[in-house]
Amino acid sequence: MKRYFISFALTLLFVSSIIACKQQEQTKEANRMEITVTELQQKIQSDSNLVILDVRTPEELTGPLGHIEGVINIPIQVLEKNLSKLEKYKNQEIYIICRSGNRSGVATKMLAGKGFKVKNVLGGMKNYNRIKK
């Protein structure tokens, strides 16, 4: 009985460590797919060829939060149908922004799954305008 308990405990420990490692990998992957507004602003200043995708509606781009000059606008609702518009940027990093970071997070996962190099801008335009230089 004691031997079975030890065997069970070791198996449980082994499985727990595998799960913990997998969760760490997923967290690291998610972190690699994110960028802060401050980091994006620094990149905008140093790279005139930066690719920024805004997944808000066209109406939102002209709304109170405004938009970043030169963005590509493809609303999240039609993004999958319009991937061809992004194909020429497939080998470049694409920074994805929306109002608060939720829609851009969805778009980031979708495009990453299709082989694009993408980063979600944390906090979106709400944060961008708060930290605007």
Residues 60-115 pLDDT 10s: 999 999 999 999 999 999 999 999 999 999 999 999 999 999 999 999 999 999 99
The CATH number, out of the four listed (3.40.30.10, 3.40.250.10, 1.10.3720.10, 3.40.1130.10), of the domain defined by the range 33-131: 3.40.250.10
pTM of the predicted structure, to 2 decimals = 0.76
Q: Where are the domains of the chain?
A: 1-32, 33-131
Ramachandran class of 118: left when φ > 0, alpha when ψ lies in -120 to 50, beta otherwise = beta
126 vs 16, 64, 98, 110, 121, CA distance in Å? 39, 10, 9, 22, 11
